[in-house]
Amino acid sequence: MPRPKSSDRGFEGVLNCEHEDVTQCPNCWRLIAEQVGSRVPAHGRARDSGLAAGIDTAAHGTALAVGGRTVAVIGTGLRRSYPAPNARLQQEIAERGLVISQLSGYGLATVVVAASS
């Protein structure tokens, strides 16, 4: 992944990363997820992702913190929280956003933060 340009505001943490390849830096992914999580609501859009630990948790938490709408697409039934440590976050998303189960293709755009080749 090419490093962001110095003109890409908000990615200072990634620009200052000591890793040669930022794709191998979990902290960089978290920073990127937080930036996306905070910027999407600022444009009047909801942001969505799964509810896995790590970047999903960071992006949802940031969206909620800035008063944005967020959608969690979960791979389990609605009455189950997985991973279990995200039960409180899932409940907060259900109250202030939307939690849906195994549904795709409903958004205007998809941002893939990390994927295997």
What CATH number is given to the structural domain containing 85?
A: 3.40.50.450
Question: What pLDDT digit, counting tens, does each position of 32-87 carry?
Answer: 777 777 777 777 777 778 898 888 888 889 889 888 888 898 888 888 888 999 99
Model confidence, pTM: 0.65
CB 37 within 8 A of CB 61: yes
Q: Is residue 45 part of a domain?
A: yes
25-32 long-range contacts (CB < 8 A, ≥24 apart) are: 26/54, 29/54, 29/55, 29/113, 29/114, 30/54, 30/55, 30/58, 32/113
Range of the domain at 86: 12-101
Q: Is residue 5 part of a domain?
A: no
